[in-house]
Amino acid sequence: MNLKKVLNKKTIVVDLKSNDKNTVIEELLDTIVNTGDVSSREAALRALFEREEKMSTGMELGIAIPHARTDAVKELHTAVGIHRTGVDFGALDGKPSNIFIMTLSPTGKSGPHIEFIAAISTILSKEEKRLALITAQSSEDVFKILT
C-alpha cells in the first residue's frame, strides 16, 4: 500500500489537546470531517464509539488505532495524532497511548483498511520510528516518518 496516497497532512495533529479517550477520538475525527469527506459526523462518531465499546483499540507500545466502518465515508480515510504525555486508552499493556492512528472505512470494503493497518504496523513496530513520531514538530515531519 502506498501510504503517501492514504495519509493526509491535513489530518495529522502533532500536539493533541485532548486528555481522554473520547475527546481524542472526536479531535481526530474532526480533522477528517474538516476535509469534507464525511457525510455525517454523528454517524462516524457513533461507529467509532460503538467499535471502542466492543474492545479498546489501545494496543501496546504507546499506540492506539481507533477505527470504524461507516456509511459516512466512501473510501478509506485516516488521521494521525500525537500526544506528548499520553492518554489512557485502555491499552493492552496498561500504559498510556501517545500515537493515534484513526481509520474510517466504508461499510462494504475491508481490503484497504486491512492493507493500511498492516503497512502502518510494520512502521510502528520500530522503536526509532515511534520515538521520532512522539518528538515530531510538524505534520510534515510525521508524514515523512510514516512514508
Catalytic residue among 67, 77, 83, 113: 67
Query: Looking at per-residue confidence, does 35 or 109 come out higher?
Result: 35
Q: Give yes or no: 67 in active site.
A: yes
Domain of residue 39, residue span? 3-146
Nearest CA among 143, 62, 136, 73 for reference residue 107: 73
| Distance from C-alpha of 62 to C-alpha of 80, rounded to nearest angstrom | 13
Query: What tens digit of pLDDT does each residue of 64-78 get?
Result: 999 999 999 999 999
Which amino acid is it at 108? G
Query: What tens digit of pLDDT does each residue of 87-102 get?
Result: 999 998 999 999 999 9
CB 14 within 8 A of CB 141: yes
Domain count, the chain: 1
CB 75 within 8 A of CB 112: yes
In CATH, what number is assigned to the domain containing residue 35? 3.40.930.10
Which amino acid is it at 99? I
Nearest CA among 27, 26, 31 for reference residue 8: 31
In this prediction, residue 32 has a pLDDT band, given cuts at 50, 70 and 90, of very high
